[in-house]
Structures are given as structure tokens and as C-alpha cells.
Amino acid sequence: MEVQLCVLILFAWSITIVPVAAGRRGCGGTYTAARGIIHTPNFPDPFKVPIDCEWVIDAQHESSPNTSIVVYLTQLFVFEGLTFTEYQLYGSDYKINPRIVHKVNETNISGVRWVQTYQSFLVIQLKLPSIDSAHLRVLDRFLEVYGFNITYEITAGHARPDSCTMMDCGFTGVCYDHYTKFECECFPGYSGPTCSDGPKSFCHSDGVATCENGATCL
Ligand SMILES: *[C@@H]1O[C@H](CO)[C@@H](O)[C@H](O)[C@H]1NC(C)=O
Ligand SMILES: *[C@@H]1O[C@H](CO)[C@@H](O)[C@H](O)[C@H]1NC(C)=O
Ligand SMILES: *[C@@H]1O[C@H](CO)[C@@H](O)[C@H](O)[C@H]1NC(C)=O
Ligand SMILES: CC(=O)N[C@H]1CO[C@H](CO)[C@@H](O)[C@@H]1O
């Protein structure tokens, strides 16, 4: 009798767990830790489309009035469909005072290094019908990557100004957040803090052009 009861309980468990996992669509989630990493499913490999994911950074447990949420766009290869919205309160039944803080577009993917809010919630939404605008390929041997891999922190201080993005790492390196500092990891053959020292046709970090035939290095 006792054994039968036990089996019944296990069965009930598996029934309640399945819908919860399916409701998350295999992506997104809620983040309350002081810092963390948020990335697209399978990063840097392709993810399933259409995609509609929501990552919620929840800082309401922090009482300091100066608390902010900062998201560093270290590895961002999505050109559209990515929106950062702040909320005063964010729950399943109520969403109070939404304001779009940043919406990634083709022009501004390279200009913005971090997104910051002083509200208690920052919601990152990725909504894309196809994967075309979430794919970057830099020559065959360098980089082929889909989606994003970015970091956040809940802080009472300022955003860390030394952050990097794919643009700072010379398009031939990867920007990593080590929490105490940011660093460009360069591809083979390239070096320097921004990976700009390398084979001809790339600019040297000392500003000396290395282009052939008198061309100017930009
Ligand atoms: C918040 O920041 C202001 C201005 O930087 C400062 O004067 C104040 O002491 C800070 N408050 C807390 C609780 O850190
Ligand atoms: C791209 O975003 C910037 C601000 O972040 C905005 O000024 C600009 O109009 C946007 N461009 C397009 C094509 O939506
Ligand atoms: C994602 O970003 C974090 C922080 O920069 C880094 O430590 C990690 O290696 C990255 N993951 C991948 C797969 O690139
Ligand atoms: C807010 C922001 O970063 N705006 C930038 C969008 O992109 C244009 C062109 O690259 C810049 O001039 C803006 O400053």
C-alpha cells in the first residue's frame, strides 16, 4: 500500500513539472543575484527561431536608493528585436511604469556599451522571426557567432567605464567580463589591449597605418 502511494506521488510531480518547463520556452528566466551572465540558448551556436524570450533582472531586494542594474553588452551580435525595458514593478499579473531604455538597431549596435536603469526591474526581451539578424561572420577563420552573451550587475555605484564590446576588441577579438576587469581576448596573430596589432591591413594601436599603397588605416 505504501509503495503504491509513493508511485502516485512521483507521477503527480512529473505532471506538474512539465508545463512549467514548457512555459519558459527553454530560454529566459529571472535573475536576482548581484551579477551574472545572460546569453541566447546554445551561444555562440544558432538558437531555434522564431524566438520570444524574456530575461528579468530583479533588484527589488536592494534597498539603497542608488542601486542600479547595469547590463554590459560585451558579446552582442543581434541587430534587431532586442529590447531593454525598465519597470518599477514586474510580476505575472502586474507590470508597473514600463519604459524602454534601449532598443538595439543596426546603427546603434556599435555605439552603446552598457544599459543602465535605477528602477527595480530590467527586462531584456528577444523577439525574432528568423536568425538572419542575430548572426555575425567575420571571414571564415575568425568568428561565426549567433545571438548574445552579456553580463549584468546590480550595483550601488557607477557602471564600470572600462567595459568593452566587439567594436573595442577590433572585430577580431572577444570581450570578456571578469567582473574585476574587462578584457579583449584576441584571435591568433593579433595582440594589444584592443587586438589591433596584427597582420597588414589592420591598424596598429600606436596609430601608425600599416595599409599598403599609401592607404589610410581607419
Ligand atoms: C547616493 O548617491 C549620492 C550622490 O552620489 C550620495 O550623496 C549618497 O550618499 C548615496 N546614498 C547611498 C545610500 O549610498
Ligand atoms: C537607432 O537607435 C537610435 C537611438 O538608440 C535612434 O536614434 C535611431 O533612430 C534608431 N534608428 C533606427 C533606424 O531605428
Ligand atoms: C560569456 O561571457 C562570460 C563573461 O564575459 C564569459 O566568461 C564566458 O566565457 C562567455 N561564454 C562564451 C561561450 O563565450
Ligand atoms: C544613443 C546612441 O548611442 N546613439 C547613437 C546611435 O548611432 C549613431 C550613429 O552611429 C550615433 O551617432 C548615436 O550617438
- pLDDT average, residue stretch 136-151: 83
Confidence (pLDDT) at 21: 36
Ligand nearest to the CA of 111: 4
Q: Report the range out of 32-36, 63-67, 107-111, 155-159 with the highest average pLDDT.
A: 32-36
Return the minimum-mean-pLDDT range out of 114-123, 195-204, 209-218.
209-218
**CB of 107 sitting under 6 A from ligand 2:** yes
Taking the C-alpha atoms of residue 146 and residue 116, their distance in angstroms, rounded to an integer, is 24
Confidence (pLDDT) at 110: 75
Confidence (pLDDT) at 5: 41
Cα 157 to ligand 1 centroid, rounded to whole Å: 9
Ligand nearest to the CA of 74: 3
Taking the C-alpha atoms of residue 32 and residue 153, their distance in angstroms, rounded to an integer, is 10
Q: Which residue among 108, 112, 114, 115 has the greatest number of ligand 4 atoms within 8 angstroms of its CB, and so is best to mutate?
A: 108
Confidence (pLDDT) at 22: 36
Could you confirm whether domain 4-182 is CATH 2.60.120.290?
yes
Cis peptide before 188 (omega within 30 of 0): no
pTM: 0.79
Confidence (pLDDT) at 203: 55
Domain range summary for the chain, segments of one domain joined by +: 4-182
**CB of 66 sitting under 6 A from ligand 1:** yes
- ∠ Cα 125 130 134 (to 5°): 65
Return the minimum-mean-pLDDT range out of 8-17, 37-46, 113-122, 134-143.
8-17
Higher pLDDT, 85 or 209: 85
State yes or no: pLDDT of 118 exceeds 50: yes
In tens, the pLDDT along 30-69 reads: 999 999 999 999 999 999 999 999 999 999 999 788 999 9
